[in-house]
Chain A
Amino acid sequence: MFKTFHVALREFIATVATKGFIIGVILPPVLMGVVLTIMPLLLREAAPKVEGHVAIIDRSGQAIRSFEKYMAPEAVRGEMRDQLGRDGSPLADSKQAEQGMKMAESMVLGSAQVSVRVLPSDADEAAERAQILTGEGKPESPDQRLALVVIPKEAVTPAEGEKPSDLQILHQPKLAVQWVGIIQNAARRAVVDARLASNGLDAEKIRGLMAAPKTDTKSVTEKGDVKTSEALKMLLPGAFMFLLWIAVFTSGQYLLTSTIEEKSSRVMEVILSAVSPMQVLVGKILGQAAVGLLLLGFYAGAGLIGLSAFNRMSLIDPLNLLYLGIYFIIAFGCIACLFAAIGSAVSDVREAQSLLGPLMIVLVIPMMLWFPIIQNPNSVFAQVCSFLPPISPFIMVLRISGTEPVPFWQIPATIALGMVTVVVFAWAAAKIFRIGILMYGKPPNFITLVKWIRMA
């Protein structure tokens, strides 16, 4: 027992205490968290100062007032809020969403001082255009021309049977893309307002009538009505399954490569002089199970912190986390046995690919079935897939964390089936491992592996 523990401990440390593991597995989410935390501060500090004016030549003479109105700081801010906080956005109505909007406003508007300078409707476009170039590269000042908007008369009142003319917006090359968008938007809306006015219609009133109402969507639960987001409801089951998949396959891959390395470096025979093949197999699987649990805990913890920060913890049922742990053990047990058996049978990773290929095809099935199953978690198809090892744990995690409750009997039934599958896989893996681990030369095929299972 102690020997198995020592094998497991070495396996765990040899995997976790490496630069590859830290850089490849732990560092990315940590860095992402750090970046998300410090990014607003950095961006706030680095927000470029925008100062100058946007000139407008309105040949129609009807769009200037609206353009000035839409270019006013308050109007720009309001438009941004409408864009960012669109109804149905997964993170709308949270503190973080509000902070995000403030950050975006700060980035775009910040210390900007942009005014509108109205030019005569018959102004020389070429001469005014030249002023954009003369201001380029000079220190910011109110006289610096950031952009020139030219509204042809035909854009507001096109000739009979003709299409309305296009607007022309000329700007400094270095003008921030957000500001180009703001100017485009203001000019377009101003022209539309002018067209409506020229037809005797009230633009404000029509906009008010056309604005789609926001919806207030809530789930009715025993604890009361809970604000929900359809997008998150769809994403969460997928996130749970991907989490399980990543944890299982990352640690499974580590098990495969470490087994191959021990075999090819011939250290295995030294180890087998001290412990039995079964002790080695069990120790290695336990060590990598700990690696998988570490990954699962790490990523799940990061996810929970994220949900908590966005006030979406109500979407998580604590029981689902328990099921995630149980199905992880089953999924990892199956995959680890298969990977350890393949690792023991081959001498290098290249040889392993031919045996892994068919296995991987089976194991990516849950990824392909993700969308149809979360759309209808209790369909006959989903229920049949739930009882097919070794994809059963992935499908069950997908269904359990979905919107529809799974028939309760299916949870203990699939867990029991999973346990039996793990025992059968472990039995077969032990037989292959015992023979394969000291077998060198021509790599075996599936038929040979079956023979080993039968003869051992």
Chain B
Amino acid sequence: MGNAIEIRGVTKTFGPKTAVRNLDLDIPEGCVCGFIGPNGAGKTTTIRMIMAIIFPDRGDLTVLGRPSAVESKDRIGYLPEERGVYRKMKVGSFLNYMGKLKGMDSGPLDKTVKDWLGRVGLADTYRKKCEELSKGMQQKVQFIAAVIHKPDLIILDEPFSGLDPVNRKLLRELIDEQRGEGRTLIFSTHAMFEAEQLCDRLFMIHKGNKVLDNTLDDVWSRYDPSLLDVEPAAPLAQVDVTPLRSIPGVANVVVGAKSIELKLQSVDRAKAAMTQVAQTIAVRRLELRRPSLEDIFIQLVGGNEAALRGEKEEGGN
């Protein structure tokens, strides 16, 4: 199986700001790839370059085997971050229009539109004007516009923002369904739970630089579980944590609101450390916790910030 997207040495600047710097990225066909990164990191710029809405200053992109997405726009579905609809246009007309722009045959198009609206619980909005819909409903309409033509590649920029839990679940199911049909999906998100649930692969960008590009399995193995979560049997205020700090292999102890977190020097020490904790204080719960994507995100972004700060200080000295 080849790559749906190949990016080589791509750089994009806006005036003095470099939005994406010397980026290399391969996204295999059929995978679900999450683009994560803090606000202003360069995710949307990367997506827009993939979509050939804007063009890189340097570097090459290949999308679905073509040098530009312009040549394969009908095979791509796109839900932009800045979503919009024709406010005065009726929902059915809008989706029919988008289907025609995506090269769909007019004959069965209207039926497909109605089917999709029914699937996302918006069957009664076919004749309503887009402006009459709530933001979440409009988002579902826009999702339909992105996938109605059964594209090979679906790019969703922040698809979960503004959705309630029920609709987030619905969207997860729809994305999963698209994956099941063999489509390549890319979505940028700040919703780490959804990323954990859906992604095969993670790409993280920060200040225009790639800081993570792995499969989810690789990410888990790279960021070993090294956190002991201890919930004492006694009230937390009555627990003396000093003996815990002296347990071999424990790098740091943080007392939280309900539990105590023991950061281990390495996961190899986990077994011995857990035994010693149990011997030191009475525990209700003792858990070796895997870091969440959020932890990894914060670690990467925080580490990067620290590195950048360090660079600045060194430069200043």
Contact = CB atoms under 8 A, between A and B. Distances in A.
Contacts of B97: 6, 10
Contact of B53 (A10, A265, A272): A272
Interface residues of A, number: 21
Interface in B44-74: 48, 51, 53-54, 70, 73-74
Contact of A14 (B86, B98, B146): B86
* Dominant secondary structure of chain A at its interface with chain B: helix
B101 A6 contact: yes
B145 A270 contact: yes
Contacts, number: 63
Contact of A273 (B53, B86, B89, B100): B53
A30 interface: no
A266 B84 contact: yes
B101 A3 contact: yes
Contact of A275 (B86, B87, B101): B101
B82 interface: yes
B91 to A, nearest CB: 13
A208 B80 CA distance: 86
B291 to A, nearest CB: 35
A270 B142 contact: yes
Interface residues of B, number: 28
B98 A270 contact: yes
Interface of B: 48, 51, 53-54, 70, 73-74, 76-78, 80, 82-89, 97-98, 100-103, 142, 145-146
Contacts of A273: 51, 53, 73, 76-78, 80, 146
Interface string A252-274: 00000000001001111111111
B88 A271 contact: no
A274 B100 CA distance: 9
A266 B101 contact: no
Nearest to B76: A273
B93 to A, nearest CB: 9
Interface in A1-60: 2-3, 6-7, 10, 14, 18
B115 to A, nearest CB: 20
A268 B84 contact: yes
Given A3-B100, A272-B53, 14 more contacts: A2-B100, A6-B97, A6-B100, A7-B101, A14-B86, A262-B86, A267-B86, A269-B84, A270-B145, A271-B101, A274-B98, A274-B102, A275-B73, A276-B73
Contacts of A18: 88
A455 to B, nearest CB: 11
A262 B130 CA distance: 14
Contacts of A271: 101
A438 interface: yes
Nearest to A272: B53
A268 B83 CA distance: 9
Contacts of B80: 266, 269-270, 273
